[in-house]
Structure 1
Amino acid sequence: MTSLLPRAPIRDDGRHREAGSRAGDLTLDNWQDAPHNRWAFAHVAELVPTAPIAHRPAVESAREVVGLEAMRSSMPDLPTRLEESYTDALVVVRDGELVAEHYREGFGPDGLHLLMSVSKSLCGLTIGTLVDEGVIDPDRRVDHYVPALAGSAYGDAKVQQVLDMTVDVDYDEDYRNPASEVQAQDRVAGWRTRLPGDPADTYAFLAALRGGGEHGVRFRYCSAGTDVLAWIVESVTGTRYADAVSERLWSRLGCRNDARITIDPGGFGFANGGISCTARDLSRVGVLMLGDGVIDGRRVVSAEWVRRTIEGGDPDAAAGSVFQRVHPGGAYSNQWWITGSDRGDFYAVGIHGQFIWVDPATRSVVVKFSSWPEPVTEGWNRLHAELFRDICDAVG
């Protein structure tokens, strides 16, 4: 059973601190584990095939690292807290302006880092642009858009139920269990060594998933659902998922760099966790959400979609979850986590400590890349909620 508290640091032998060189014993089956993940999360394209998510060249501005000076007086313990939480990068934006940032040794502003499930929230926004245009109806069944999923766990689910992860599906999300569906999906995606009998690609994997219960009743976190959404995107746009994200989101954000996404043998982009980008570029997503779908005067997604995301989700569906032990009254909506707190903060998160934290109360966005030794624990999530709120208050 996974501990509910962060484990003691594993840096004592110095291996986890080594960020600039590849460990000699790194393999396809251990690159997600500490201490290898510190190097691997910043070099995914050297381990797994990837495709670009192209940006549109932005107006150049100063690239110097801003540093943490804006928060040192009110948060003198911040460097220690960042070190103890395995931070690879931290970017803080207030009212659309970069006010503080920090990078571990060997990593910097132009470094791409794996987002893990923060990728899901980018998919939610991409879907939102298609809903805005009337191309996707959230109340339609999945198999209306992807007939190949008829008979699967997702075929008779509504698109909105997939967005909110209330689909009943037989899927074990235990990242440490070799027999789990999430590890099987990793193998299909090229993230682990394939085993005999594994589906040929993600399309085949998704079509083989089964359920049987009632949809829309209970929150059930399942990474496969995001890839179902990506398949819908491909079906309605007639383009690869990476190209759709580029056209509809990344190229409209004013990003400085291309993002990248891992691809499986069928060319399918691993939408649920495979995107890598820079911390500064990722902060643009948070700025977009604070701007009700507008950034630098450009409308990317409707204010209605952003509002429905922030105010949506069913807290009762998530009752009893680990998430609600950290955020009582919280909910999951359109692939984003809504805390339900008085300050109205919400976030995107990926295992091993990747975050976009959005705090409307202070008009702040915090992006953090990490290489936690554990995929996820209640303790790590609680610690980071406190950290991000302290940071937002320090710059507010």
Structure 2
Amino acid sequence: MSWPDSEPNPDLSVGPDLRQGWNRPENRRRGFHNAHLIFRRTLSIRARRILRLEDAPDPALARVADDLGLSRLPGFSALVVAEEGRVLCARAAPDFSLTRPHSIQSVSKMHMNLIAGRLIARGLLNPKASAGALLPGLGSGYRDALVGDLLDMNVANDFSENYADPAADCYREEEALGWRLPADGMPEMTLSQFVAGISGGDPVNRSGYVAYKSANTDVLTLIAAGLTDLPAALAGICDAAGYEGGFHISLSPEGLPALSGGGVLSALDLARFGLLFARGGRGIGGENLGCAGYIGTCRRAAGPPLSRARPGQRYAGHLMTDGTRIGHAGYGGQYLMINPDSGRVAVYLGVLENPSGYDEAFMARLVAALTRLLS
């Protein structure tokens, strides 16, 4: 019997450049705009009720956005500034829309703030516990790391997150996140296998700055999965935010959500997610996710500084904070920023098409611009 011809999946297969098809610079925009259709496996959730957002254009705010040139930044996809129930400013690129799904990459990590905050509040997760005590199979890179340090991105080990190096560990991690395939005939690496294989010694971060490692979120995902039903927790977040469209997130081979970066949301729904934080984790129906205290603690925490390029910003509890505004950046050109004092949120979605997909100077400019919109 003859078998039909087949070929490797061009989006998920890794080429000689060590990148999978959808994340090559020439394909990245299409990839980020269609990530929910490209990832190997995906969990999709719809909210029970939708938070209504009324168009309420603010001409003065629009002038500020135009002066800042946000819609002219490299790879611009969408911009939204909103307060509870109102969209004050909105822009979308000609090839995109405010309701179309977009990869939010590491903005996804903010879900871990909500999930961990609730577990801590309920006494189920101790920030002073070692990861190895909760996950006995961990290797030397994480077994002695403290949960609180994982949440604050304050752990030293051998995991490398250098986006300019296609052989860096953060790209190997993508196999365990469902973003790429191993070589033909090889089994897919599970999230558990990936984090267990990370090596290291003394986990204390002595660099003076954040030691940003997406694998920290992977370890926390495995820990949280042993303490709560993660799909149910994500469904609760979707209901509390009141998304209009679907929330999509890639899954590891063992079916765990890729909280380190696999989330996909439209610009308007990402604004709804930000508004959930602005309300202190209280849902659109008044339901309490039980994490308001943790959000407030992280907002004012003296976590490690982010970088020299972003003075004043620190990292705490899977949030980036300057003591007033909270949020998170995403690989490729995303940022969600929230000012809980005013209740205003700003969303920027974009796709950097340079070789690495990252530019620290770009992110510093973006943070400054969004800060001005929320001032």
Using the size of structure 2 for normalisation, the TM-score is: 0.85
In structure 1, distance between residues paired with 2:358 and 2:48:
35
Q: Which amino acid aligns with 1:72?
A: A
More displaced 10-residue stretch of structure 1: 265-274 or 289-298: 289-298
Q: CA 1:385/1:305 → structure 2, altered by over 3 Å: closer, same or farther? A: same
Q: Pick from 318, 330, 352: which aligns with 2:332? A: 352
What does 1:42-53 correspond to in 2, within 5 Å?
Answer: 42-53=33-44
Q: CA 1:27/1:70 → structure 2, altered by over 3 Å: closer, same or farther? A: farther
Match of 1:382 in 2: 364
Say whether the 8 Å CA contact 1:164–1:313 is kept in structure 2: no
Q: Which amino acid aligns with 1:77?
A: D
Say whether the 8 Å CA contact 1:242–1:261 is kept in structure 2: no
Using the size of structure 1 for normalisation, the TM-score is: 0.81
Match of 1:366 in 2: 346
After TM superposition, give the deviation of residue 290 of structure 1 in Å. Answer: 2.2
In structure 2, distance between residues paired with 1:347 and 1:56:
22
Count of residues in correspondence between the two structures: 354
Q: CA 1:50/1:105 → structure 2, altered by over 3 Å: closer, same or farther? A: farther
Q: Which amino acid aligns with 2:252?
A: D
Q: Which amino acid aligns with 2:277?
A: M
What are structure 1's unaligned runs of at least 5 residues?
Answer: 1-24
After TM superposition, give the deviation of residue 68 of structure 1 in Å. Answer: 7.2
After TM superposition, give the deviation of residue 207 of structure 1 in Å. Answer: 0.8
Deviation per residue, 1:192-219 (Å, 9 max, x gap)? 3414878621110111111101436553
1:186 maps onto 2:169 in alignment: no
Match of 1:327 in 2: 310
Deviation per residue, 1:251-285 (Å, 9 max, x gap)? 22222233111123222322211111122222223
Say whether the 8 Å CA contact 1:310–1:333 is kept in structure 2: yes
In structure 2, distance between residues paired with 1:227 and 1:214:
16
Deviation per residue, 1:106-157 (Å, 9 max, x gap)? 32233111111111111221111111222212111223322222x4321222
1:163 maps onto 2:151 in alignment: yes
Q: Pick from 263, 270, 294: which aligns with 1:305? A: 294
In structure 2, distance between residues paired with 1:105 and 1:206:
40
What are structure 2's unaligned runs of at least 5 residues?
Answer: 1-9, 14-19
Alignment partner of 1:148: what SS?
Answer: coil
1:38 maps onto 2:18 in alignment: no
In structure 2, distance between residues paired with 1:221 and 1:53:
28
Alignment partner of 1:369: what SS?
Answer: strand
Deviation per residue, 1:276-317 (Å, 9 max, x gap)? 1122222223222222332433322333111111012434xx
Deviation per residue, 1:58-104 (Å, 9 max, x gap)? 147478x76675633445435x4312332211111135532121122
Q: CA 1:68/1:53 → structure 2, altered by over 3 Å: closer, same or farther? A: farther
In structure 1, distance between residues paired with 2:351 and 2:70:
14
Deviation per residue, 1:189-246 (Å, 9 max, x gap)? 3323414878621110111111101436553111111011111111112x3x344322
1:138 maps onto 2:120 in alignment: no
